[in-house]
């Protein structure tokens, strides 16, 4: 028992390289104390779009990739449950026929045997750690599937609504260019413009019509991407109905890195790799010591030939089964040393995942901050452009301006709307990217937890 205790391999302490605070200024600060902190399990609800919420729920229940991850997790848990059972007493029964060495008599034999592997010197603990690592990797993979699925649903939904809004704006631009061309014909007739102006406007109209294909392509791509994410071949008909682009509500990123990053699936996978390496080291070290089991058997033999010198007999046996490392002990020691290096390598990998996770989130915060500022600038630009257009309409009503002068203002407003829509889409996608880096997603239901 003393030697067995000394052979145990302790779980190393995982390094903690997470900073105490974020270096980047939080993209969405919380000047209002009533704003709730970040909710990793429902971050997409800050868009305030009921249809988006419903799509996320459908995807979580119908997506095939997530279903694969769930089934692999169930398989890993089922296999892990057999590890501890393999160190319980095992009873075997067999029957077979055989002949003696002189080929004179034939026997029919019944064998009843029992073996109990003791799993001493860390062998059982190492095997259980390996099984636990397999389960943890599968659970992390399932959570990663959730994280990626939610982020993809949000991204494609935003692109769909942005494309529909861009299509509507582009169609207004086409109508505006056609009206401009009509007024140009009048101006040419009245010798207020030359034929070259007609050609310029015809070219602009063609470019505007050609640009309309880009948002239509984006709409089709987003529709079928959403259909695949929710596990169906065709998009729902109601998805094609234009809806406004959901506006991101104010949130607060106040939690420290250690509170937010611990749920990242890649950190869980890195921790599982450490557990796997420690388990392999424990098994390798246990191989340096005798493998001990307790065995018992009863062999019954019946002579089935005519030469019945002995009609039947039974032989019971019981005793220890010992496997001693003798001539290959040096080879086993080399394997144990290699396993120790693998433990150190897994710890280094864990440290690298910590560093990468901080870098990804810091980058995500910076990009979200810039996207938010861009949206604000473009909103100000649209407001100023809209104000100029409103003033021109007022002058037109008073007879101090004309429809021809107002066409340019209308075009500027529509172009400003296009730029703002693109910026708001990028802002929403940057928000989704940040929470994908944080590992934000709904937690698996309780029925996915291991049974006690």
* Residue pLDDT, tens place only, 105-120: 777 778 887 887 777 7
What pLDDT score does 170 carry?
94
First to last CA, the chain: 29
The CATH number that applies at residue 218 is 1.20.1600.10
What pLDDT score does 162 carry?
96
Domain that holds residue 289: 2-448
What pLDDT score does 286 carry?
84
* Residue keyed to tokens 């388990």: 279
Distance CA 432, CA 440 (A): 9
Q: Does the pLDDT of residue 339 top 60, yes or no? A: yes
pLDDT in tens, 439-449: 887 777 654 44
What pLDDT score does 312 carry?
66
Comparing 175-189, 249-263, 352-366, the range with the smallest average pLDDT is 249-263
As a 3-state breakdown, the chain gives helix, strand, coil percent values, each rounded to 5, of 65, 10, 25
Our count of domains for the chain comes to 1
What pLDDT score does 189 carry?
83
Q: Does the pLDDT of residue 175 top 60, yes or no? A: yes
Query: Which three-class secondary structure state does DSSP give residue 303?
Result: strand
What pLDDT score does 425 carry?
95
Q: Does the pLDDT of residue 72 top 80, yes or no? A: yes
Asked whether the beta carbons of 438 and 251 are under 8 A apart, the reply is: no
Name the pTM for this structure: 0.83
Query: Which three-class secondary structure state does DSSP give residue 315?
Result: strand
Strand partners, 191: none
Model confidence at 352, in pLDDT bands (50, 70, 90)?
very high
Residue 445 burial (C-beta neighbours within 10 Å; 0-12, 13-18, 19+):
exposed
What pLDDT score does 30 carry?
46
- Summarize the confidence of residues 190-194 as an average pLDDT: 79
pLDDT in tens, 398-411: 888 788 888 889 99
- Summarize the confidence of residues 401-427 as an average pLDDT: 91
Comparing 4-13, 59-68, 280-289, the range with the smallest average pLDDT is 4-13
Distance CA 38, CA 434 (A): 12
Write out the two tokens for 332: 């086993």
Strand partners, 68: none
What pLDDT score does 229 carry?
95
Distance CA 308, CA 331 (A): 51
Model confidence at 97, in pLDDT bands (50, 70, 90)?
confident
Q: Does the pLDDT of residue 68 top 70, yes or no? A: yes
pLDDT in tens, 20-48: 777 876 555 445 556 666 788 888 998 98
């Amino acid at each position: 028992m003393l030697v067995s205790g000394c052979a145990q391999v302790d779980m190393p302490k995982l390094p903690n390289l997470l900073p105490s605070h974020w270096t980047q200024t939080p993209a969405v600060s919380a000047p209002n104390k009533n704003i709730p902190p970040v909710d990793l399990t429902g971050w997409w609800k800050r868009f305030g779009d009921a249809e988006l919420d419903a799509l996320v729920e459908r995807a979580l229940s119908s997506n095939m990739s997530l279903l694969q991850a769930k089934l692999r997790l169930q398989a890993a848990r089922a296999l892990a449950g057999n590890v501890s059972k393999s160190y319980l007493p095992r009873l075997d029964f067999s029957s077979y026929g055989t002949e003696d060495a002189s080929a004179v008599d034939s026997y029919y034999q019944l064998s009843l045997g029992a073996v109990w592997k003791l799993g001493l010197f860390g062998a059982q603990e190492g095997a259980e750690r390996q099984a636990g690592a397999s389960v943890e990797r599968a659970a992390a993979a399932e959570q990663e599937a959730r994280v990626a699925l939610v982020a993809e649903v949000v991204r494609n939904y935003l692109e769909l609504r942005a494309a529909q809004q861009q299509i509507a704006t582009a169609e207004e631009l086409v109508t505006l260019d056609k009206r401009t061309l009509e007024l140009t014909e009048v101006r040419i007739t009245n010798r207020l413009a030359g034929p070259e102006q007609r050609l310029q406007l015809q070219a602009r109209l063609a470019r505007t019509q050609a640009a309309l294909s880009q948002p239509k392509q984006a709409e089709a791509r987003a529709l079928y991407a959403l259909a695949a994410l929710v596990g169906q071949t065709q998009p729902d008909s109601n998805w094609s109905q234009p809806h406004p682009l959901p506006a991101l509500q104010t949130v607060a990123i106040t939690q420290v890195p250690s509170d937010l990053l611990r749920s990242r699936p890649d950190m869980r996978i890195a921790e599982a790799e450490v557990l796997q390496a420690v388990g392999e080291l424990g098994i390798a070290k246990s191989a340096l010591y005798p493998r001990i089991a307790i065995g018992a058997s009863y062999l019954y033999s019946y002579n089935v030939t005519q030469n019945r010198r002995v009609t039947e007999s039974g032989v019971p046996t019981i005793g220890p089964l010992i496997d001693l490392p003798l001539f290959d002990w040096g080879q086993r020691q080399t394997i144990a040393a290699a396993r120790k290096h693998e433990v150190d390598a897994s710890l280094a990998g864990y440290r690298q995942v910590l560093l990468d996770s901080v870098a990804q989130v810091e980058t995500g915060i910076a990009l979200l901050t810039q996207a938010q500022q861009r949206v604000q600038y473009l909103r100000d630009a649209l407001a100023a452009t809209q104000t100029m257009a409103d003033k021109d309409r007022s002058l037109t009503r008073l007879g101090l301006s004309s429809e021809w002068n107002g066409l340019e203002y209308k075009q500027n407003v529509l172009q400003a709307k296009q730029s703002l829509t693109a910026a708001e889409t990028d802002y929403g996608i940057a928000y989704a990217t940040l929470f994908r880096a944080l590992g934000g997603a709904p937690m698996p239901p309780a029925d996915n937890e291991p049974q006690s």
